[in-house]
């Protein structure tokens, strides 16, 4: 990420990016999605705004509420993250004798434990 010009990205930003992929989100709603206080979400949003990843604006439906949305620089950070993850995954899978079997086992494990639905709905959080 740093080599791609995104040396200010933190882990928490990745969770925010996930929720902004579909469009702008109210900061209060983001707090609920992230399982944090509105003050905490606002603090992360302000940090990401200073870094240029998001822009905050007034919610047209409620002048008291603030929404955040990705900037072009934020979208570039997401693409850089995807590229970095793909490179790491390819390197790791290259170390395995049977990567297809490993991936099939992970998929089966995710489905059996219910983690896949949490992952796909962006609710899976690190323990």
Give the domain ranges of the chain.
Answer: 2-75, 96-126
- Tens digit of pLDDT for each residue in 54-102? 999 998 888 888 999 999 999 999 999 999 999 999 999 999 999 999 9
DSSP 17: H
Q: How confident is the model at residue 31 (pLDDT cuts 50, 70, 90)?
A: very high
- The CATH number of 2-75 is 1.10.10.10
Rounded to whole angstroms, the Cα distance separating 63 from 88 reads 43
Q: What is the pTM of this model?
A: 0.79
Rounded to whole angstroms, the Cα distance separating 66 from 122 reads 22
- Tens digit of pLDDT for each residue in 83-96? 999 999 999 999 99
């Amino acid at each position: 990420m740093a080599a791609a010009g995104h040396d200010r990205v933190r882990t928490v930003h990745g969770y925010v990016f996930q929720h902004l992929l579909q469009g702008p989100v109210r900061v209060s709603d983001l707090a609920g999605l992230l399982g944090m206080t509105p003050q905490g979400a606002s603090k992360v949003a302000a940090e990401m705004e200073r870094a240029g990843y998001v822009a905050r604006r007034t919610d047209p439906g409620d002048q008291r509420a603030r929404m955040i949305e990705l900037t072009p620089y934020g979208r570039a950070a997401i693409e850089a993250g995807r590229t970095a993850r793909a490179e790491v995954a390819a390197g790791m899978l290259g170390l395995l004798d049977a990567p297809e079997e490993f991936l099939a086992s992970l998929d089966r494990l995710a489905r059996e434990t219910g983690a896949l639905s949490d992952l796909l709905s962006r609710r899976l959080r690190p323990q």
